[in-house]
Amino acid sequence: MKVNKAIYVNVALFLGGLGIHKFYADKFGQGLFHLLFFWTGIPTIISIIHAIFVIFTKKADRDGYIIFPKN
């Protein structure tokens, strides 16, 4: 799935606890997991770590898009 890196990182940081960034990247199973367990706070921590990981490891193309493999 091809997603905009800036949008993905911002959604992961601000709405990641609810799994919205996973739904945006077309990863419905992972998004549902985040949504079901958001009340524990663990998905929020995972989302922040994942956003930092994406910032430093995923290279965007010239249009600002990154590619996530399909589940």
Q: Is residue 70 part of a domain?
A: no
- Read off the pLDDT of each residue in 6-18 and give the average, rounded to a whole number: 97
In the chain, the number of structural domains is 1
Looking at the predicted structure, is the pLDDT value of residue 58 above 80?
Answer: yes
In this structure, what is the dihedral angle of CA atoms 56, 44, 42, 60, given to the nearest 10 degrees?
Answer: -30
In a domain, 11, yes or no: yes
Burial 19-49 (b: 16+ CB within 10 A, else e): bbbbbbbebeebbeebbeebeeeebbebbee
Residue 71, in any domain of the structure: no
Residue 53, pLDDT above cutoff 90: yes
Residue 68: inside a domain, yes or no? Answer: no
Structural domain harbouring 51? 2-62
